[in-house]
Structure 1
Amino acid sequence: MRAKKIGIIGSSRGFGKSVYGFFAKKGFPITGSYIGSPITNKEVVEDSDVVIFAVPIGVTVQVIDEMLPYSREDQLWMDVTTYKVGAVNTMLKSSADVIGLHPLFGPTEADTWRGQKIAVHMARVRAWSGWALDFLKATEARVELVDPAVHDFYMLGAQGLPQLLNAFVQAKVILALGFDTKQLLKLATRFSRKSFGLIGRILQQKNHRLYADIQIEHPGTAHMIKECIAALREVQVMVDRKDQLGLISWIEELDKQLGPDFVAEAAKL
């Protein structure tokens, strides 16, 4: 991977900080901007061969859009935001080559990308194809090539749903029911400890804006919540009626519809 001048917009935290460290360790000349930094986003774009956008989800499209007038045909633009459609479509308005990236792991796990998964969309890759492939190889990550619209749809189930229910709603109910959290952890089963682990890993990052944006910025979140409420109401009716057979049948139907392949693979996680 030949050294190029790397510019990161949003370099002070999260994946921006991780990407900065990745290229710095490999000896690349690198600049970064962030709120209050001495260098501006415009200066980063004008001074860089590779521009990487690593800003919060809710402002990604706006920040990219503001930089469009300063793009060049000899540049590569990439982003590492959670949702790809808006970011990729906006980068495609530039003159640069364009690749959308989504590291499928948390910023606190980003000391090394080895063995992790990265969703990738080669939106427009001309002169930068060789360098881009070398970069992805150098990360030692597992690359998942995926269309932005397909990616964003599945992120609702792969991120939005488990984070909302298994972390935030579960935490809210734990507090509402008045559990002593120390005693709860002492008596937790192996299964529940894994579930509580998601709460801990997310909240420990102290990046609450990221997880709020994951819910707020996905167009399917409202519908997902309606489906969650509908499912809970179905269970509530059966519990109120003490309908054991009905609930068994309900669970059996879930098992059947998900299918043995999904169940077997998910059980390994």
Structure 2
Amino acid sequence: MGLHVFGHDPSGDTALSERALIEAVDVLIFCAPIRQTPAVISHYVAQAAGIEREQLWLDITSIKAVPVAVMLTSQAEVVGLHPMSAAPKAATLRGRSMVVCEARLDKWRPWLEDFLAATEADCVRADAEQHDRIMALVQGMVHATHMAQGAVLRELAPAVGDLDGIRPFSSVGYELDVAVTRRILASNPAIYQDIQFENPHVAPMLERLAAHLDTLRDLVRQGDDEARDRMRETLLEQSRAYVGEQAIAEGSYAFERLGYLLADLHEPRYISVFLPVDRPGSLRALLSVFEQRGINLDSIHSSRSADGDLLFRIGVSRDGDTLALRSAMSAIEAEGIGRVVDAPG
């Protein structure tokens, strides 16, 4: 968008004082740990002391009601934002949702719409209270169940060979759940603490979740046909009726597709290729190398590296010619098409 971006980190950045930062910018974005965000915003309101009246203030926080309310104590126009993902490796939020909570917006509306369009996010409007109630389910419930699964695995997996011993027996559902659990464990613990503790709608949700788990435990302990029927009715059939046949069919198909993806990613015969230039025709040039050597491909998946580089993971038929594959790998680099960054030994 051709914007000049200033930043200030209260833990050490002294390039600009807080007052100087407020004076320098037109749009101020708060991005801080959830539990610290209200105090940070309050501090800036005091520092601004009215000079912010022509500005737009935004925050990027997983909780919206309190930060938005505190921003409204300023004289700036106010919008709360919540990108529903960690910072992606790609340049934009394409394919990801972002919640937009308009609180006080007038002259900055055209600029905000241009900004949201530039992010390429799938924007959904909500008020701050609605956002927080939904996040208790979308984030709070999901994180809680996976943190609990991580604790159960820690306690019970050693008796059956630890995680490596479980892996050969895993189902698609287990693989997906473990991936989410490991993603949570790999991230900053403070984020998950604050999502549980700072959203007032999480505690009531956890009570419902715990109640249903307690019911399931008690029914399994009871163990008779009556208990089986009650479990089926309360935890399966009633939920199935609520979700609806169309949504269930779509979800089942999505799960099946993810299963195919996991199967592809577990195939041992593949190569990963980095394309230095992401432009029309790059993939065609890459695929022609395999076609010329009569190499049959089982799958193609694109992704981004940690640095944002475009990667293609190409599954190769198990009965393919090894010499032809080596020739293809050499040609990819010799012809300047890309760089082979991973391949079977």
1:99 is paired with a residue whose SS is: strand
Gaps in structure 1 of 5+ consecutive residues: 2-25
Select the structure with the greater relative contact order (CA < 8 A; seq sep ≥ 6): 1
CA distance in 1, matches of 2:206, 2:182: 22
Which of 123, 133, 151 is the equivalent residue of 2:131?
Answer: 151
Going from structure 1 to structure 2, the CA distance change for 1:245 and 1:63 (only over 3 Å counts) comes to: same
Which of 174, 197, 210 is the equivalent residue of 2:179?
Answer: 197
- Are 1:171 and 2:171 an aligned pair? no
2:63 is paired with a residue whose SS is: coil
- Are 1:188 and 2:188 an aligned pair? no
Going from structure 1 to structure 2, the CA distance change for 1:246 and 1:31 (only over 3 Å counts) comes to: closer
Going from structure 1 to structure 2, the CA distance change for 1:215 and 1:59 (only over 3 Å counts) comes to: same
Residue 9 of structure 1 aligns with which residue?
Answer: none
Contact 1:52-1:80 within 8 A present in 2 as well: yes
Deviation of the 1:50 alpha carbon = 0.8
CA distance in 2, matches of 1:109, 1:171: 26
TM-score by length of 1: 0.84
Superposition RMSD in Å? 1.9
Aligned residue runs from structure 1 range 92-241, under 5 A: 92-107=72-87, 111-165=91-145, 167-179=146-158, 180-205=162-187, 207-241=188-222
Contact 1:113-1:139 within 8 A present in 2 as well: yes
Deviation of the 1:110 alpha carbon = 6.5
2:157 is paired with a residue whose SS is: coil
Deviation of the 1:27 alpha carbon = 5.1
CA distance in 1, matches of 2:197, 2:21: 29
Aligned residue runs from structure 1 range 253-268, under 5 A: 253-267=238-252, 268=254
Deviation of the 1:52 alpha carbon = 0.3
CA distance in 2, matches of 1:84, 1:163: 18
Deviations 1:128-181 (Å, cap 9, x if unpaired)?
Answer: 11111111111111111111111110000011001110x200000111113401
Gaps in structure 2 of 5+ consecutive residues: 256-345
2:102 is paired with a residue whose SS is: strand
2:153 is paired with a residue whose SS is: helix
Going from structure 1 to structure 2, the CA distance change for 1:265 and 1:59 (only over 3 Å counts) comes to: farther
Higher mean displacement: 229-238 or 168-177:
229-238
The residue type paired with residue 175 of structure 1 is R
The residue type paired with residue 228 of structure 2 is Q
CA distance in 2, matches of 1:186, 1:87: 46
CA distance in 1, matches of 2:90, 2:191: 16
Going from structure 1 to structure 2, the CA distance change for 1:29 and 1:234 (only over 3 Å counts) comes to: closer
Going from structure 1 to structure 2, the CA distance change for 1:81 and 1:110 (only over 3 Å counts) comes to: farther
Contact 2:6-2:21 within 8 A present in 1 as well: no
% same residue: 30
- Are 1:252 and 2:237 an aligned pair? yes
Deviations 1:1-49 (Å, cap 9, x if unpaired)?
Answer: 5xxxxxxxxxxxxxxxxxxxxxxxx452423323121134333223211
Higher mean displacement: 54-63 or 237-246:
237-246
Higher mean displacement: 106-115 or 28-37:
106-115
Q: From the CA coordinates, give the structure whose radius of gyration is larger.
A: 2
CA distance in 1, matches of 2:91, 2:182: 19
TM-score by length of 2: 0.66
The residue type paired with residue 30 of structure 1 is F
Going from structure 1 to structure 2, the CA distance change for 1:265 and 1:67 (only over 3 Å counts) comes to: farther
CA distance in 1, matches of 2:94, 2:239: 35
- Are 1:61 and 2:38 an aligned pair? yes
CA distance in 1, matches of 2:123, 2:221: 47
Which of 49, 55, 59 is the equivalent residue of 1:75?
Answer: 55
Deviations 1:177-229 (Å, cap 9, x if unpaired)?
Answer: 13401222332101111111111122222x11011100000112222222122
| Alignment length (residue pairs) | 243
Contact 1:103-1:117 within 8 A present in 2 as well: yes
2:7 is paired with a residue whose SS is: strand
1:144 is paired with a residue whose SS is: strand
Contact 2:92-2:121 within 8 A present in 1 as well: no
